[in-house]
Structure 1
Amino acid sequence: MAILIRIAVVAVSLWLATLLVDGIELGAGTTAARVGTLVAVSIIFGVVNVFVKPVIQIFGCPLYIITLGLFGLVVNALLFMLVGWIAGLLNLPFIVEGFWPAFWGAIVVAIVSFVLHLVIPDRLDQR
């Protein structure tokens, strides 16, 4: 149950990012296709954050220390671009058009996910 809630939270966050950030587009036609695309992209987002992000954080540790953590914003933007690229490889209509849309999209996803996880009861969202 918790994994489904996390997928839904990321899907909603990605949907809001497509609405708020120019350069992040969701090109699916019907509502069902859009929801399916968002769910698929949120799964890709989760896989990238589980497997790729820790490796980058380990190798980028000195940059995190030197920049007092601001390098994390760049890493998140690059990972967001990676998610868009993987979605393109899988023929999913989720497009990230460059670094700055990815930068702002990653911030939107992080903030919305944080707020949604605050609202969802802990018994449902076991982290």
Structure 2
Amino acid sequence: MMRFLLHVIVSALALWVAAWILPGMDITTTAAAGAAANAGAGTASNTVGIVLGYLFLGLIFGLVNAVVKPIVSFLSLPVTCLTLGLFALVINAAMLGLTAWISGYTPVHLTLDSFVTALLGAIIVAIVSAVTGWALGLRKD
């Protein structure tokens, strides 16, 4: 269970870094922002809402990568082999886009303005997740 929580935290951190770097990738928490504005709360509760929003998106992204990505990767194996593995970047961008689509039905919204943003975001998320996972000992190779 602790390993799963660490994966969610690493995914949330990677999404935060990608949203920080890319201007076309935005994460908004409508419920937390509305509650903070209505209650007259300070920036502390707004920060907690944003952190919880990123953790929630990390959970969605992790579930998409655990359930959908293996199926899509298997079905697109011939194309991935034909492109010498570069199609895996397109699959990662599609998983980020699917996460954005699913988050549209939740109070936490991930918005991507183009496929290029999704592609660059997927590269950034993969690099940050790999480095952070390696530093925390989550990757056992």
Alignment TM-score, normalising by the size of structure 1: 0.91
Task: Please give the alpha-carbon distance, in whole angstroms, between the structure 1 residues aligned to 2:91 and 2:117.
Answer: 14
What are structure 2's unaligned runs of at least 5 residues? 34-45
In 2 relative to 1, CA 126–99 (structure 1 residues): closer, same or farther, beyond 3 Å? closer
SS at match of 1:68: coil
Matches within 5 A, 1:32-43: 32-43=48-59
Higher gyration radius (CA): 2
Cα root mean square deviation, aligned: 1.4
Normalised by the size of structure 2, how large is the TM-score?
0.82
1:27 to partner: Cα distance: 2.0
Residue matched to 2:3: 2
- 1:54-69 → structure 2 map (5 Å cutoff): 54-69=70-85
Alignment match, 1:11: 12
Is the CA contact (8 Å cut-off) linking 1:64 and 1:71 kept in structure 2?
yes
Structure 1 counterpart of 2:87, from 50, 68, 71:
71
Percent of matched pairs sharing the same residue = 35
Moved over 4 A (4+): none
Q: Is residue 84–residue 96 contact of structure 1 (8 Å, CA) maintained in 2?
A: yes
- Structure 1 residue aligned with 2:124, among 105, 108, 111? 108
**Which residue number in structure 2 is paired with residue 25 of structure 1?**
26
Name the count of aligned residue pairs.
124
Pick which of 74-83 and 20-29 moved more. Answer: 20-29
